[in-house]
């Protein structure tokens, strides 16, 4: 009877903690204009709280210290593996936005007094995915900042290899008065659209791999949970110190396997045109 009572107490404590977290979140409110880094920090904090709660719950139910640690680490690390991949969709939207803005610059250059005037003209109509960065670029230009440093700051903000190619062309045009800039921007826009198309095809192939990873991980964890809940005598060997060491070894092997599966599902990003050393050398 000790284990069920302890489990109920752990669940009540977990519910109280979650309720307190919700009260604090509601009291602080959610500001849609907060920086993305702050939103990511809140997400990591919630994941950490959930991982600690799950670890404590598993530790109370099973009495295994190693099991509690492994459960907490799994709760922290597995959601990105099992969940959706919003980062890829964000990257595709950004590439398409950069492509559209490049085409807008190409079309505007014909009637504008110059590249700087074309940027100022397209800023209010820039695609939503990059409009804040383009608006900030226009604000810097309107404040009297030189074009080339402003464009380099834009490259730092966008942090995208496709944007680097476009911005490098604009920087060359600003510093060396490059000719046929409209034709060059048209070629870059076409290349960017092809890159977005390639990424969409890659994502379709990755979806099958991610589905396989979800099935493998979900089946493994479901089997382990069923064994703990339905056949505790079979797992009694893990109650000893030696059993905990064995559980640690087994858990580590599964963690390496899951990490390898997650690595298979990832695609390496291309190297950015502007390297970190070059950015440090900017004026």
Angle among Cα 273, 277, 283 to the nearest 5 degrees reads: 95
Q: Which domain holds residue 78?
A: 1-82
11 and 30 share a domain? yes
The residue out of 198, 226, 247 marking a domain boundary is: 198
Residue 248 lies in a domain: no
Same domain? For 53 and 137 the reply is no
Per-residue pLDDT tens digits of the chain, which is 283 residues long: 444 444 454 445 555 555 555 555 555 544 433 445 565 677 677 778 888 888 888 888 888 888 888 888 888 877 776 766 667 677 778 888 888 888 888 888 776 567 888 888 888 989 998 999 999 999 998 888 888 889 888 888 888 888 888 888 888 888 776 567 777 778 878 887 787 777 777 777 777 777 777 788 788 888 888 887 887 788 888 888 888 898 889 888 888 877 786 776 666 666 776 654 444 444 4
Residue 228 placed within a domain? no
**One domain for residues 68 and 15:** yes
Q: What is the pTM of this model?
A: 0.60
DSSP string, 93-129: HHHHHHHHHHHHHHHHHTTSSSHHHHHHHHGGGS-TT
Rounded CA separation 252/249 (Å): 5
How many domains does the structure of the chain reveal? Answer: 2
**Which residues have C-beta within 8 Å of that of residue 155, sequence separation ≥ 6?**
163, 164, 167, 168, 274, 279
Rg (CA), the chain: 26
Instruction: Specify whether the backbone of 272 is left (phi greater than 0), alpha (psi in -120 to 50) or beta.
Output: beta
């Amino acid at each position: 009877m000790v284990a069920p009572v302890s489990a109920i107490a752990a669940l009540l404590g977990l519910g109280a903690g979650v309720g307190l977290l919700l009260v604090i979140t509601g009291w602080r409110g959610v500001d849609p204009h907060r920086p993305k880094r702050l939103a990511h920090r809140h997400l990591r904090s919630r994941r950490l709280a959930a991982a600690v709660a799950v670890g404590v719950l598993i530790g109370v139910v099973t009495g295994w210290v190693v099991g509690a640690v492994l459960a907490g680490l799994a709760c922290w690390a597995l959601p990105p593996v099992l969940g959706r991949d919003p980062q890829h969709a964000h990257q595709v939207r950004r590439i398409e936005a950069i492509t559209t803005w490049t085409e807008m610059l190409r079309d505007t250059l014909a009637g504008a007094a110059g590249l700087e005037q074309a940027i100022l003209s397209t800023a209010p109509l820039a695609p939503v995915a990059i409009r804040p960065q383009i608006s900030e670029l226009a604000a810097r230009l309107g404040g009297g900042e030189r074009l080339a440093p402003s464009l380099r700051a834009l490259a730092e903000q966008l942090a995208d290899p496709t944007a680097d190619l476009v911005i490098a062309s604009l920087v060359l045009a600003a510093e060396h008065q490059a000719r046929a800039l409209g034709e060059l921007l048209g070629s870059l826009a076409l290349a960017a659209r092809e890159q977005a198309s390639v990424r969409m095809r890659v994502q379709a192939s990755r979806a099958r791999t991610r589905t396989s990873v979800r099935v493998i991980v979900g089946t493994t964890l479901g089997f382990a949970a069923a064994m703990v809940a339905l056949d505790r005598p079979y797992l009694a060997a893990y109650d000893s110190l030696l059993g905990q060491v064995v559980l640690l070894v087994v858990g580590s092997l599964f963690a390496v396997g899951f990490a390898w599966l997650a690595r298979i599902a990832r695609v390496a990003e291309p190297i950015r045109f502007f390297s970190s050393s070059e950015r440090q050398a900017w004026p």
